[in-house]
Amino acid sequence: MNALINTAPAGFDVAKIRQDFPVLKQKVHGKPLVYLDNAATAQKPQSVIDAIRHFYEVDCANIHRGVHELSQRSTAAYEQTRGKVRQFLNARTKNELIFVRGATEGINLVSQTWGRKCVKEGDEIIVSGLEHHSNIVPWQMLCEEKGAKLRVIPVNDSGELILEEYEKLLNPRTKLLAVGHVSNALGTINPIRQMIDMAHKAGALALIDGAQAAPHLKIDVQALDADFYALSGHKAFGPTGIGILYGKSKLLNAMPPWQGGGDMIRTVTFEKTTYNELPYKFEAGTPHIAGGIGLGAAVDYVTAIGMDRIAAYEHELLVYATAALSQIPGLRIIGTAREKAAVVSFVIEGIHPHDIGTVLDRMGIAVRTGHHCAQPIMDRFQVPATTRASLAFYNTTAEIDALAAGLQKVKEVFS
């Protein structure tokens, strides 16, 4: 029995948890799969797979429109997820939760509706140097259209945002802070409570990209006082193609709709269309019903384990992984923030990350290599790419040992 499991939160039985994830039971290139690419997408527990299957096998019908039994069942199951997500994020009401395709679509929804209405020439939007492209490009596009300006919070050598510089960027022209809760490339956990407060004091709103926080941390949108919070279901053990945008109802009500179509209307005539109430005003067309239902099962799954216990266990994994990888000569960890989620991004002197990833794959070890859709932070550290091991609560210290041994092998191959 390894040491980590002994010190894991009481009752955190990782061996038992792994049984719930069928994908983890396979061999890849003849070796047991070691899946360390969770920041790209997380694996799904059987209960999520079963919920999707049940929808298609038993309840399949369109939602919000049928009086017949199947439509009633599918509508109830889909809407139940909204209630589960409300609890998961501690939103005030279910109406503040919009189903979207993922974090990317949630952010684009805000930039295309609130942004187009409220951002004017000369206004400023603040992002950070740690952002994923999906929390940069939509704001750049908006700024270009409106003649507004994108300002960027710089990052220190540990991969932390420099708050004194952020403070200096805030001014009466600032309309929005758009910042990630957790960095996908480095794992940095940003002090978003404080950052949101600072934005509000300057009269700006705050949108949080929670794509990498939802799988790892307990989130409370009311305690954070976030104006918008976006997440992707697939990174939080749910299906791909479904995500959530949280927005304060006062803001959502004042925003114009985004896409037009079925379900988002109250009445339509050729003279005038009136729009549906929240959240449906932002949900045009038939959604990813099975995805929504699967997301509800994912929320149930992690809630049963407990986000606090997940975070505690993953922190131990991070400490273990950091120590193990630090012992490899020539390996440099990029991103050593004091507050980190379980992501270890690194470079090895003289070996390209893609070569590292390819050799590891032959050993059944899945990592991501590249710029992680966060090119500006790669530029900041003057590396074209990193190798990234991103962990989830089903990973083990034995898998980290396998990664460390694999990296030793990589070094032998390229020496």
Q: Which residues are known to be catalytic?
A: 373
Q: Measured from the CB of residue 211, what is the shortest distance to ligand 7TS in angstroms?
A: 4
Residues counted in the chain? 415
Backbone angles phi, psi at 177, to 5 degrees: -100, 120
Residue closer to ligand 7TS, measured from CB, 130 or 205: 130
Residue closer to ligand 7TS, measured from CB, 14 or 342: 342
Q: Measured from the CB of residue 1, what is the shortest distance to ligand 7TS in angstroms?
A: 32
Tokens 């449906």 locate to 280
Backbone angles phi, psi at 356, to 5 degrees: -60, -50
SS3 state at 158: coil
Q: Which residues pair with 343 in a beta bridge?
A: 390
Residue closer to ligand 7TS, measured from CB, 106 or 406: 106
Element (H, E) at 152: strand 149-153
Q: Measured from the CB of residue 374, what is the shortest distance to ligand 7TS in angstroms?
A: 7
Q: Measured from the CB of residue 147, what is the shortest distance to ligand 7TS in angstroms?
A: 26
**Is the CB of residue 387 less than 8 Å from the CB of residue 357?**
yes
Residue closer to ligand 7TS, measured from CB, 245 or 407: 245
Residue closer to ligand 7TS, measured from CB, 233 or 276: 233
Please give the Cα distance from 290 to 14 (Å, whole number): 28
Q: Measured from the CB of residue 201, what is the shortest distance to ligand 7TS in angstroms?
A: 25
For residue 386, count other CB atoms closer than 10 A to its CB.
28
Q: Which residues bind ligand 7TS (CB under 6 A)?
A: 39-40, 102-104, 132, 134-135, 180, 184, 209, 211-212, 232, 368, 372-373
* Tokens coding 33: 């799969």
For residue 256, count other CB atoms closer than 10 A to its CB.
12
Q: Which residues contact 274 (CB under 8 A, 6 or more apart)?
A: 265, 266, 267
DSSP state of 104: H
Residue closer to ligand 7TS, measured from CB, 39 or 204: 39
DSSP conformation letters of 179-205 = EESB-TTT-BBP-HHHHHHHHHHTT-E
Q: Measured from the CB of residue 53, what is the shortest distance to ligand 7TS in angstroms?
A: 22
SS3 state at 85: helix
SS3 state at 116: helix
